[in-house]
Structure 1
């Protein structure tokens, strides 16, 4: 015989009413989800919160509470704020690296612009291809 009680009613060993506010969000097959949320917020507070939350937002609220509860259990001091802080630090490091890379690119672009000769007005522009080795044939250096 399979139980039709939700995880909350199963946890409290009571009959699950047809209009149970917890049933859509805490299914029977995922007891640890409710246990985690119950450990941090308590069933009474959770029930009040769900009743005060509009029906269309309840699933999102339960997901958020579950995530926050898991984080608080893993890190009792900082919880999800510790994860947010860590991600913020990673963003700052990446922004700093990006700024350094952009500065280096700008520096290299400026050096290339200085090294390239600018043609005089009226003088024809000659395009050079390849590398100038100072030899007639670029492959002559293999034979020296």
Structure 2
């Protein structure tokens, strides 16, 4: 993994966290210096430590997709925090077909879905991770 430190520019994560960007930086391949907002959004929602753990736990060939998914989710929450959380909640309860995710569905069905009590018993899923 090449780091942005080889070109004397820290990656967006190291710059934001005010750390020296080392050659083995976990964040450098996924948060280039020219995309600071991407890291800021992901850090604000998930936290740098959690993102680092996720990157290290995911298979190397899936890491870019995982980071892109985090960035997408963070951007969605930034743009529409209330609906982003409630749409995920409805999807987790099985009340919303995955192909109909969106504002129109939410606006029509916001008060109509029911989630079983079992969801509240394990708020972080079977493996301790978030839903």
Q: TM-score, normalised by structure 2?
A: 0.60
Instruction: Please give the root-mean-square deviation of Cα atoms over the aligned residues, in Å.
Output: 2.4
Closer/same/farther in 2, CA of residues 79 and 51 from structure 1, 3 Å limit: same
Compute the displacement of 1:4 (Å).
1.7
Which of 94, 102, 106 is residue 86 of structure 1 equivalent to?
102
Preserved CA contact (<8 Å) 1:40 1:69: yes
Preserved CA contact (<8 Å) 2:83 2:103: no
SS of 1:29's equivalent?
coil
Preserved CA contact (<8 Å) 1:3 1:28: no
Compute the displacement of 1:86 (Å).
2.5
**What is aligned with 1:19?**
24
Closer/same/farther in 2, CA of residues 88 and 5 from structure 1, 3 Å limit: same
Compute the displacement of 1:79 (Å).
1.3
Compute the displacement of 1:85 (Å).
2.6
CA distance in 2, matches of 1:84, 1:19: 41
In structure 2, the gaps of 5 or more residues are 1-6, 89-98, 106-131
Q: TM-score, normalised by structure 1?
A: 0.55
Compute the displacement of 1:63 (Å).
0.6
CA distance in 1, matches of 2:21, 2:69: 24
CA distance in 2, matches of 1:54, 1:18: 20
Which of 40, 45, 48 is residue 50 of structure 2 equivalent to?
45
SS of 2:81's equivalent?
coil
CA distance in 1, matches of 2:48, 2:102: 31
Compute the displacement of 1:75 (Å).
1.4
SS of 1:79's equivalent?
helix
CA distance in 2, matches of 1:62, 1:53: 10
In structure 1, the gaps of 5 or more residues are 90-144
Q: Which has the higher contact order (CA 8 A, sep 6+)?
A: 2
Compute the displacement of 1:84 (Å).
4.8
